[in-house]
Amino acid sequence: MARRHIHYEAAFEDYLRSRGLAYVAVDETRKAIFAGARVKSFDFLVYHNGGCNRLVDVKGRKFPYDTAGNSRQWENWVTEEDLQSLTEWERVFGEGFEAVLVFAYWLTSSGADAPFHSLHPFRGEYYAFLAVSLSAYRSRSVRRSPKWGTVTVPTKAFRELASAF
């Protein structure tokens, strides 16, 4: 079961349903153990007729993200654990499955004119969903914070890599 109390994931699930896509929401209360190590769960398994099935990890972000008077767009950081876990899941599922990071952007009032091709209304708010394959994200990521174990893709590269889900 997806964590429906997290509005980003609930909005993404609503998006999948509205498009008639076949998916399984992952029960995040159950941790998988491979080779004696716990592996962080992904959020959704999305089936694709005739294409690669996707192991989706949803990353919720505000658009734009305002803090201390600064407004930032295209926040796309993830943890190194996110990347390692998705790599392991991709290996376990094997051929025909691709790990994907989906950035669920919640458009704040100042993001009303955001440059997205498609917006999804959910509970009176608007969201945009951009996907980046694990391999593409990893190839362009740079360290953001050694202390927090996070990486990010520079804005220009992210905009080149990301596509609507």
| pTM for the full predicted model | 0.90
Residue pLDDT, tens place only, 91-145: 999 999 999 999 999 998 755 567 888 899 999 999 999 999 999 999 999 999 9
Domain span at 25: 7-164
State whether residue 93 is helix, strand or coil: helix
Q: Is residue 147 part of a domain?
A: yes
Residue 3 has pLDDT above 60, yes or no: no
Residue 96 lies inside a defined structural domain of this protein: yes
**For tokens 């391999």, what's the residue?**
135
**Total domains, the chain:** 1
Residues 21-40: b if buried by 16+ CB within 10 A, e if exposed: eebebbeeeeeeeeeeeebb
> Tell me: the pLDDT tens digits for 52-74?
999 999 999 999 887 777 778 89
User: Which range (74-78, 85-89, 113-117, 154-158) has the least confidence?
Assistant: 113-117
Q: Report the pLDDT value the prediction gives residue 1, as an integer from 0 to 100.
A: 43
CATH classification of the domain holding 99: 3.40.1350.10
Structure tokens of 163? 């596509």
Q: What integer best gives the mean pLDDT of the chain?
A: 90
In a domain, 32, yes or no: yes
Domain annotation covers residue 2:
no
Task: Confirm whether 56 is domain-assigned.
Answer: yes
Residue 91 lies in a domain: yes
Residue 121 lies in a domain: yes
Residue 29 pLDDT class (50, 70, 90 cuts): low
Residue 1 within any structural domain of the chain:
no
